[in-house]
Amino acid sequence: MNLSFENQGGDDREIAGYSYLSPNSAAKAYKASSGIKGAKLPAKVDLRPFMTKVEDQQRLSSCTANAVAGAYEYLAKKFLTKKAFEVSRLFVYYNARLRAGSTIKDGGSHIQYAVESLMKIGACKEDVWPYEAPKVNTKPHEKSYQTAANFKIEKSRFVPVKLEDWKKCLAEGYPIVFGIALFPSFDSCNKNHGIVPMPSPNETSRSAHGLHAMLCVGYSEVDKMFIVRNSWGERWGDKGYCYMPYEYVINPKFNLGDCWIFGRSTPIPDSEETWIEDKKSVINDGKGYDRNDFKFYKPDEYKSFDVWETIEVEDYDEEVPEEYDELEYESEGEYDELLEEYESQYEGLEEEEYEDEEEEEEEYEEDEESDDEEEESDEEEESEEEEEEESEEEEEESEEEEEYEEEEEEEEEESEEEEEYEEEEESEEEEEESEEEEEESEEEEEESEEEEEYEEEEESEEEEEESEEEEEYEEEEGEEESEEEYEEEEEAEEEYEEEESSEEESGEEEGGEEESEEEA
């Protein structure tokens, strides 16, 4: 798988490097020591003060060897000397490819095989077998193997892809070599103070930009990020380092669990000197880090691609090539070179002291074994206690269930009593309502009777008034008639009188005429 990125100078580079390999079935998983299990983890862990200069793998496909060499150089500074101790990256790269049993070519290597080569063969110094591109596929000379035999690691562990395990591992002082999927957005960290954004679900892997091996050297709870050492030189990122979100590194879509630590059988000395408790950001941009600037996607949102489908995933090969087996060199047990180089620290060191150290290491291993046995016995006791607790819990649960059933029965009885009480109350209420209704009906009847009586009285009064009015009216009419009759009578009398007067006048006239006639 090729990797492509644009470096600080603007040149395009295509390199191959890391290849995934499932862990050996016999390999042991990392387990936190008893000292770190119950301890409160610090806000930050930063192993960079004990790291050597970040190298540039250049155009070679040696990212795995660079990451492993960086971890080894850190261990040398912690165990041997505070001075820089440069390991031959090409030596590690060659022997990792040789362990794979494939044709030696510049096509990348496996982390696990590189770690195995450090346990079986060791590592020589950079000046013994320097990093020169033309020698990438050349077998190192005999002197380099003889020197490497004095610098072997003693143990290795694979680290599960769990946030707490990674934080505890770093807090114990172990840098983690890991392989991860990269995407085009990874390159933006070069212009963003080393901050790596979360890949977008719309990003797809490219054939020239897939998998890469790096070294995790710290974490920051303040920023929710891991501090990661790359192998593209100190002009890249933040002086060769970058800051990757927890959600990116601890993500099964990008990290399949090919993550390793290694070292001596004794713990890392003074691991707590890399602990930091302040709340400052680890990012060197002068402003700190704002998580709101980046979108953090959930693992199940990455459905548009699966980078691992395009890669041939190899299983661990139990068969070791014969040529690789023949390369094992026994250490002479002499520290002459170390004494010459580190006189100030190791002056006066004799073979007896070295033997004492070996005895101490053996005692430490025995202690570890006894601790393991004690842990196993403790685990068995814990399992028994857990079983007892479970049985007790079951008994308690059964008792609680019985109590609950009794309570339910009591509640049912109470509910029945309440129902009976409610029914009685309802019947009483109904009786009261019926009585009230009867009273209301009686009152209504009384009211209706009163209304009828009142209406009858009113009607009788009205009838009486009407009869009186009629009588009055009749009387008035009778009076009017009598007046009219009286007037008629008066008129008749007047007419009669007038007639009489007219008759008298006519009689008088007739009498006068008679008298005049008589006179005449």
Within 10 Å of residue 134's Cβ, how many Cβ atoms?
A: 6
Confidence of residue 434 (pLDDT cuts 50, 70, 90): confident
- pLDDT given at position 413: 81
Is residue 300 scored above 90 in pLDDT?
Answer: no
What is the rounded average pLDDT of the residues 440-454?
81
Is residue 512 scored above 70 in pLDDT?
Answer: no
Residue recorded with tokens 């798988």 = 1
Structure tokens at 333: 């047990």
What is the rounded average pLDDT of the residues 35-48?
91
**Domain for residue 389, yes or no?**
no
- pLDDT given at position 351: 45
Is residue 141 scored above 90 in pLDDT?
Answer: yes
**Alpha-helix residue ranges (DSSP H) falling in 227-331:** 246-249, 322-325
- pLDDT given at position 346: 38
**Where is mean pLDDT largest: 175-179, 322-326, 343-347, 377-381?**
175-179
Check: pTM over 0.75? Answer yes or no. no
- pLDDT given at position 179: 95
Confidence of residue 324 (pLDDT cuts 50, 70, 90): confident
**Domain for residue 264, yes or no?**
yes
- In degrees, rounded to 5, the angle at the alpha carbon of residue 495 between the alpha carbons of residues 492 and 499 is 135
What is the rounded average pLDDT of the residues 31-51?
91
- What is the rounded average pLDDT for all residues in the chain? 80
Structure tokens at 321: 């090539």
Residue recorded with tokens 């009578």 = 489
Is residue 343 scored above 70 in pLDDT?
Answer: no
What's the CATH code of the domain at 182?
3.90.70.10
Dmax of the chain from CA atoms? 223
**Domain for residue 301, yes or no?**
yes
**Domain for residue 353, yes or no?**
no
- The domain in which residue 324 lies consists of 2-334
Confidence of residue 335 (pLDDT cuts 50, 70, 90): very low
Confidence of residue 311 (pLDDT cuts 50, 70, 90): low
Is residue 455 scored above 90 in pLDDT?
Answer: no
| Nearest 10 degrees: Cα torsion 9, 10, 14, 17 | 50
Residue recorded with tokens 């936190």 = 32
What is the rounded average pLDDT of the residues 320-333?
73
- pLDDT given at position 103: 80
**Domain for residue 70, yes or no?**
yes
- pLDDT given at position 321: 86
d(CA 423, CA 429) in angstroms, rounded, equals 9
- pLDDT given at position 226: 98
Percent of the chain topping pLDDT 70? 78
Counting DSSP H helices and E strands in the chain, the numbers are 11, 10
- pLDDT given at position 319: 83
Min mean pLDDT across 256-265, 278-287, 380-389 is at 380-389
d(CA 515, CA 508) in angstroms, rounded, equals 10
Within 10 Å of residue 434's Cβ, how many Cβ atoms?
A: 10
Is residue 493 scored above 70 in pLDDT?
Answer: yes
Residue 140: CB partners within 8 Å, gap ≥ 6?
88, 90, 91, 94, 124, 129
- pLDDT given at position 333: 45
Is residue 243 scored above 80 in pLDDT?
Answer: yes
Structure tokens at 151: 């610098």
Within 10 Å of residue 297's Cβ, how many Cβ atoms?
A: 16
**Domain for residue 503, yes or no?**
no
Percent of the chain topping pLDDT 90? 35
Residue 403: CB partners within 8 Å, gap ≥ 6?
none
**Domain for residue 507, yes or no?**
no
Q: Which is more confident, 294 or 156?
A: 156
Task: Tell me how many domains the chain contains.
Answer: 1
**Domain for residue 344, yes or no?**
no
Is residue 82 scored above 50 in pLDDT?
Answer: yes
